[in-house]
Structure 1
Amino acid sequence: MDLNLGITGPAQSDDLYHFTGRLGERPNDVPQRIREMTPQQRLDAIIAERMLRAFPPFGANVPCVCFSEASPEHLAFLVKERKVEPWGILGRRNSLLSLGGGSVAYVPDQQYQYFKNTGMAHWAVRVGTNSTWMHEREWRIPRQNGEIKLASVSAILIGDANWRPSLVETEEWVNAETGEQCQGPAETPHAQPRQDHPTLWRESAIWIWDDESESVIKHPPGALC
């Protein structure tokens, strides 16, 4: 579905980031094993599995995958001032809307309670006393089954130019003794699956956060394989 979203103004962005690391607590429904992973490890799993896992946000009971809308200037603010880790994947407004996602409403307590009473709390963020989330510019994709399979992403964001994802097995075979390609175990007992970078890494643009310039350095698909 191709949606005509009109013009994006200078305070807005078509770039929507699913960050894999940030300061602060995580919702109780996030498993302990995921809580204990580093941002790099979470991103590694996303790239290998081609999957985003959804969990209910604070104050809601519908599993969602969350994104933050960020222009280049706002991304720098999130990383430098809000201590968001520059690791994650990048989507676009059109893609999120086509998956049933959208931006959340930032509302006072009374209106938030209305959202909650109607089972729509996952579409709202409370901005009453002690609320500290307005800087997020948050978007969410609700997923009752708890996951989103990734056919592609707009880009992969990493915070270290030397980082690469874990290698995965491919459908091709190599002779472990010679290193040459072969037809599989039927040809030689030394056959083993060839390993390579995950498809998502090879087919996506890679954006590297650069602390000095407070911006990203963009590489086309396949450049960092």
Structure 2
Amino acid sequence: MSPQERLDAILREERFRFFPPFGAANPGSSGRACLCFSECPPGHLDHLVSIRGFAPWGLVGTRETVNRLGGGTVAYVPPEVHETFQRAGLGHWAVRTAERSTWLHEREWRIPSSPTWGGRIDGVMAILIADATWRPTQVPTGRWVDGETGLEVAGPGATNAIEVHDYPRLWRESRVWVWDREKRNFDEYAPGELH
């Protein structure tokens, strides 16, 4: 999926999907699927987008939300310390640092998959997009109207009933940050402003 398609799917489904992170299948790692995030204060976001080439499409959350969901930060450690993580079965919670391979720009946080939390989204601070004209795919609302009059009707069995579609709930209820490549920063819009 493109970054836009992935964000569109996340907004429609209101759910994250877990995948094994890089290195999860290596010896000394649990193989457990995770959600992976980059920590991006505004100045660091410019570095990730402008210098490192990350696509500015995604959800903005907080450390507190990641911690509350059982996640934490990935450790960036030298090879000899990484071996300690591997011996503990936590190799995928540490990234080896070495010359020309530090990966520190990611400032990664992860949430391991959990049977008690299926990836349902809460705690969205904002939605980050790279195109102010982009809108997510509209979804069914469960409301029905008469296709001729526009008046609300009881349901699909009513005469001329058509289901109302609207933007996903997260799009309507969240702030939207639009990345401006020239300013190397984002413009902020209030919930519902980009409708």
What residue is the counterpart of 1:163 in the other structure?
134
Give the aligned length.
Answer: 188
Q: CA deviation at 1:144?
A: 4.2
Which of these residues, 35, 47, 70, is aligned with residue 77 of structure 1?
47
Question: 2:60 is matched with which residue?
Answer: 90
Q: Secondary structure at the match of 1:128?
A: coil
Is 2:73 the counterpart of 1:109? no
Runs of 5+ consecutive residues of structure 2 not aligned to the other structure = 25-30
TM-score normalised per structure 2 = 0.90
Judging changes above 3 Å, is the alpha-carbon distance between structure 1 residues 203 and 175 closer, same or farther for their aligned structure 2 residues? same
The Cα shift of 1:200 comes to 0.8
Q: Is the aligned partner of 1:148 residue 2:119?
A: yes
- The aligned counterpart of 2:88 is 118
* Pairwise CA distance, 1:175: 1.8
Q: 1:73 to 1:185 in 2, by over 3 A?
A: closer
> C-alpha root-mean-square deviation of aligned residues, in Å?
1.6
Secondary structure of 1:148's counterpart equals coil
Moved more, 108-117 or 192-201: 108-117
Aligned partners of 2:61 and 2:123 also within 8 Å: no
| Pick aligned residue for 1:177 from 148, 154, 160 | 148
Q: Which SS does the other structure have where 1:52 is aligned? A: coil
Aligned to 1:213: 183
Report the alpha carbon displacement of residue 63 of structure 1 after superposing the two structures with TM: 0.9
Residue of structure 2 equivalent to 1:39: 3
CA distance in structure 1 between the partners assigned to 2:154 and 2:21 by the alignment: 48
User: Deviations along 1:34-62, whole A, 9 cap, x unmatched?
Assistant: xxx11100000000000111111111111
Misfit runs of 4+, over 6 Å: none
- CA distance change for structure 1 residues 162 and 195 in 2, over 3 Å: closer, same or farther? same
TM-score by length of 1: 0.79
Q: Is the 8 A contact 1:112 1:125 kept in 2?
A: yes
Structure 1 gaps, min length 5: 1-36
Q: Deviations over 1:153-178 (max 9, x none)?
A: 11100000000000000111012233
Residue identity over aligned pairs, in percent, reads 50
